[in-house]
């Protein structure tokens, strides 16, 4: 259990979760997730490319981008500002207090409760802002888009 005493309730369809300010580990997990999504998208693009020199250029650009990508800015923020990103953000905040929480079961429970994407984005944004008031960036509801993965 995390030592933080701050808990913000998030209601799923079958139970209540508690979100806490993101730890360094949670930020690192979000960074790793946006990098993996970006890398997967670029890999799919590579499959359709038949020119070896173009493939090499794409790989170099991808590796440079991934090396410095974070979920709080640029391409990483655009990935985090998807519906899947909103779910990941809520999950990482809830995992601070419940480390054994599994993403798939959490996601299924939350999606059953918030079937409207705009509502899910609003809940994610409000929860993030409530739990992380000093944060300079947070996904905005109007920026949440259908996930492409």
Q: State how beta strands 16-19 and 8-11 pair.
A: antiparallel
Residue/partner pairs of 123-126 with CB below 8 Å, 24 or more apart: 123/10, 123/90, 124/86, 124/87, 124/89, 124/90, 125/86
What domain range is 71 assigned to? 9-143
CA distance 47 to 63: 16
Q: What is the pLDDT along the chain (149 residues), one digit of tens a residue?
A: 444 567 889 999 999 999 988 899 999 999 999 999 998 988 888 888 888 888 888 888 888 888 899 999 999 999 998 889 989 999 999 999 999 999 999 999 999 998 888 888 888 878 877 776 665 444 433 333 334 43
In the three-class reduction of DSSP (H, G, I as helix; E, B as strand; rest coil), residue 48 is classed as coil
Closest CA to 110 of 131, 91, 92, 132: 91
Is 2 within a domain? no
* Number of structural domains in the chain: 1
Q: What pLDDT is stored for residue 141 in this prediction?
A: 30
Is 120 within a domain? yes
Is 52 within a domain? yes
Is 83 within a domain? yes
Is 49 within a domain? yes
Is 86 within a domain? yes
Q: What pLDDT is stored for residue 122 in this prediction?
A: 82
Kindly report the pTM of this predicted structure.
0.77
CA distances for 36 relative to 47, 81, 101, 138, angstroms: 17, 15, 20, 20
């Amino acid at each position: 259990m995390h030592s933080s005493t701050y808990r913000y309730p998030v209601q799923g369809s079958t139970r209540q979760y508690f979100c806490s300010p993101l730890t360094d580990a949670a930020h690192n997990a979000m960074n790793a997730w946006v990098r993996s999504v970006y890398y997967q998208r670029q890999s799919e693009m590579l499959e359709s490319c038949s020119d070896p020199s173009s493939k090499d250029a794409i790989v170099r650009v991808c590796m440079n981008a991934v090396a410095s990508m974070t979920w709080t800015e640029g391409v990483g923020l655009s990935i985090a500002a998807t519906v899947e990103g909103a779910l990941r953000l809520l999950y990482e905040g809830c995992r601070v207090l419940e480390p054994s929480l599994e993403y798939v079961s959490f996601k299924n429970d939350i999606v059953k409760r918030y079937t409207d994407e705009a509502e899910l984005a609003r809940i994610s944004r409000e929860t993030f802002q409530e739990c992380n008031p000093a944060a300079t960036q947070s996904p905005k509801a109007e920026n949440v888009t259908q996930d492409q993965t």
